[in-house]
Each structure stands twice: as C-alpha cells, then as structure tokens.
Amino acid sequence: MWPFPSRYPQALCYDVVLFKDEKTEAQASHNRWGGIVGSSLAYFLSKSHVPRSITLIDRSFTSLLGSTGIAPGFVGQFNESEVLTKLAIDSVLEYVKIPGGFQNVGGLEIAFKDEGIERLKARCKDAEKLGLPAAMLSIEEAHKLAPDLVNQSATGSALFFSSDGTANAVKITTWYQDEARKNGVSFVEADVQKLLISQGRITGVSVQEKNIAKHLNANKVILTTGIWAQGLASDLDFPVPIIPVGHPYMHGQTRDPLPHKLPFVRWPEHHVYARDHGTNFGIGSYDHEPISQKPAESATGEWLEWFNEPLKFATGLLPAATAEELEDGRHFNGVFSMTPDNMPLAGKVISLDGLFMGVAVWVTHAAGTAKFLVDVMDGKEVDNKTSRALDPERFRGQEFAELEERSLLGYNSIYKTVKSD
C-alpha cells in the first residue's frame, strides 16, 4: 500500500466505471456524482462495438456536487501540451453536437508587458501549427469583441482563439447520462468503499447502497474520479498524486442577458479570467498562494477570507461598469484537482489487470479523454505520445510529498504544462 497522507479519506466521493466484456455476466460501472468524465465514458462505451453490460454508480444523480457542477465552463483548446490540445479539440467536436452544450463565443488572452505579449505571439504561432485558428489583435480590437470585459484604456495586445467557447457542463453531463440510459446503461446510487482485488487483478468494487454493503463484480474498473481520487487509490502500489486545491470564483449581480455574445477573457500575466454567464458576469483568479484542501461532501470548499484580495484585484482589470456589477458578488471556493505536471492520469493500469483511470480531467478535455479510454479498452491502436503523457503509473517510485509540492507549485501557472515529447 502506498503511504498516502492520512488527510485523504478512504471512502468519500468517487467516479468509477466497472464493466464486464461479456453481456451474459453482471456488470457494474461507478461514477461519483455524475461527473462529466464518467458520464461521457458511459455513453461512448455504450456505443462501442464491443458487447458490454455497463452500470454507472453514483452517490447522487440528482445533484452535481463535484467539480463538474461548479466548473466555470471555459474551453480554451490550445495548450503547451500537444496532447491536451488534441483532447480539447476532440471534446469540442463532441460538445457542439449536444443541444445547449457549447457556445462558440471565442476566447481572448490579454497581455500588457513586452514579455507577456511575446508569449501571446508564440502561442499564436504554435496554435496555428496545430490547426487552431488564432490571431493577434490590438486592445482596441479586443475591446470591440468584448466591450464589457476588456478595458479600452489599457495598453497591450491580445490573442484571439475564434473556435474556443464556453461549455455547459451540467447540460453535457445530463445529455450523456440520458443517452447512455437509452443505450442500456444501468444507473445505481451508492457509495463506493474500495476496489476489490484478487490474485493481481480487479474483480469489482464494494459499495454502500442505502446503508447496505454490497459487492459489485466486474472484470474491468475505470476510475473517473475528481478530487476524491486518493481514497480508492490508497490500495495501489504506486502514487496517484491528485491534489485537491481551493480556488476563488465569483458571480456578479443578476441582470438581463446582453444583446451580444462575449468571448471569455484571460489575463495570463495576472492569472485572472472572466466570462459572461448569460445573466451575470463571473471572474476567477489563480493569483494567490496555493492551498490544498481536504475533500469534503462536495467540491465547494469553505470560503477563505484572504481570497477576497485576489478577487478585488481581478475586478480592477475590468471596465468600471462591469466591476461594479461584481461588487458584493456571490463568491465560492471551488475545489478541483491538480497533478505534478498539470496532466490527467488516463489509460490502462498495467500493474493491476482490469483497472483503468481517467482522473484529474477538466471539462475542456473530458469527452476527448473518454473517447481515448474507449479506444484503449477496445484494443484499438492509440497514439503513443498520448499514452505516455497520460500514463496513470508515470509517477511510480516518486515520493508523494514531493509530488504534492510540485502540484501546488503548478497552480499559479495553471494553463502551462510540460510539453509532450
């Protein structure tokens, strides 16, 4: 057993998918709180040519209490990691098929200093190489695209990704669940307690369903967990460094919808981002000391008073009228998962037959990651670069404390990852 820190509870909230490849055998699939990764995976598995009996297990299908339910919905496809960029592109191709799932409003990045502007130019060139439309703009041009979010008086440059947009994670998740049901996927509300392992392979999970302990048998299990990954991973002999962190986000005063659609905006020099939610503005900031969080009953953590300062600075980047709408806004601490390299853990666990992972996956990459996992489980040939970058066991042999420290250090450069080899 890997010596994980004791602050990670053994059985709280998980996303897991379990199934058997034979239709004649009972099968279980578990997904904690109906997250977008597990739900999309259940859908794509149900469409696969391989016959399977699939069950999605979740503590509650009526409430999205995990990170999916509070995700701001920004979908910026370009990333320094080519692997993540391709997963994001694949995800958007799926989200646009879902009614109300994705709005192609575009995404802006604003920089004021020479170094920041040069980075935007480099990102623009790299994005174009990967086939993403990208263009450098003046601040005036950016203001015309997003007059309520970009301050016209600023001096600097902007980068515009016209194919980016905002995802409605709740609608997407609900759609995937509804379609999965139509395709024969079963749904069970229960708490998963632990993985069942016998003779070096997975045999299912133990669950608590309506205060009754049960064993659900399966020859394959897929963990699609968010911030609660450490509990189920504690019996594995390699580290799974999924570190829950706190993050301040704020919704402004409710108003009538604007007559025009706005792209979302990022200020990478200041680790700030903002968007129009339709009936209010929203703003978030990574410009503060990283703080690890103990997983609780939902992905909304206790509000920390010192979160007020970075949000106050963030609103100062906005036009005065918009900043005023965000005064006394509805703020919350949204807890999400960090890893040492800002990459998900997704793929087959070689050391434990029958176990797969799709953990620490953002909404931006959820559908693409689910499709990748289905290809892996169907035995199809997959991209070696993607497999290596997402390998669930890539941190084997490393100290958990060091992995946690690296994860927290990466928080302040959340959009920057290690380039894929």
> Which of 334, 362, 383 lies at the terminal end of a domain, its last residue?
334
pLDDT at 32: 38
pLDDT at 347: 97
pLDDT at 301: 67
Mean pLDDT (whole number) for 310-339: 94
Residue 421 inside a domain? The answer is: no
On average, the pLDDT of the chain sits at 87
Residues 158 and 253 in one domain: yes
Residues 328 and 352 in one domain: no
pLDDT at 420: 43
Residue 218 inside a domain? The answer is: yes
How, if at all, do strands 272-276 and 264-267 pair? Answer: antiparallel
Residue 7 inside a domain? The answer is: no
**Number of helices and strands (H, E) in the chain?**
12, 23
pLDDT at 26: 36
What is the tens place of the pLDDT at every residue in 275-318?
999 999 999 999 999 988 877 666 676 788 999 999 999 999 99
pLDDT at 368: 98
Domain count, the chain: 2
- Please give the helix or strand (H or E) that residue 213 lies within, else none: strand 212-217
Task: Evaluate if residue 28 carries a pLDDT over 60.
Answer: no
What is the tens place of the pLDDT at every residue in 360-399?
999 999 999 999 999 999 999 999 999 999 999 999 999 9
Residues 258 and 282 in one domain: yes
pLDDT at 298: 64
pLDDT at 113: 95
| Integer Cα distance of 377 and 356 in angstroms | 9
Q: Higher model confidence: residue 68 or residue 167?
A: 167
Residue 76 inside a domain? The answer is: no
3-class SS of residue 133: coil
Task: Evaluate if residue 8 carries a pLDDT over 60.
Answer: no
Q: Are 390 and 83 in contact (CB under 8 A)?
A: yes
* DSSP-assigned states of every residue in 381-417: ---HHHHHHH-TTTTTTS-HHHHHHHHHHGGGGTT--
Task: Evaluate if residue 263 carries a pLDDT over 60.
Answer: yes
Residues 267 and 330 in one domain: yes
Give Cα separations from 276 to 167, 283, 326 (angstroms): 12, 9, 12
Task: Evaluate if residue 5 carries a pLDDT over 50.
Answer: no
Range of the domain at 324: 107-162+247-334
Report residue 21's pLDDT band, with 50, 70 and 90 as the boundaries: low
Residues 316 and 377 in one domain: no
Residues 314 and 361 in one domain: no
Residue 124 inside a domain? The answer is: yes
What is the tens place of the pLDDT at every residue in 34-81?
589 999 999 999 999 998 889 888 777 765 545 554 567 899 999 999
Mean pLDDT (whole number) for 142-168: 96
3-class SS of residue 114: helix
Report residue 224's pLDDT band, with 50, 70 and 90 as the boundaries: confident
Residues 138 and 154 in one domain: yes
Give the global pTM: 0.89
Helix ranges, 272-380 (H)? 308-315, 320-325, 366-377
Residues 400 and 252 in one domain: no
Residue 252 inside a domain? The answer is: yes
Beta bridge partners of 266: 109, 273
Residues 377 and 394 in one domain: yes
Mean pLDDT (whole number) for 343-370: 95
Q: Are 97 and 90 in contact (CB under 8 A)?
A: no
What CATH number does residue 125 fall under? 3.30.9.10
pLDDT at 193: 83
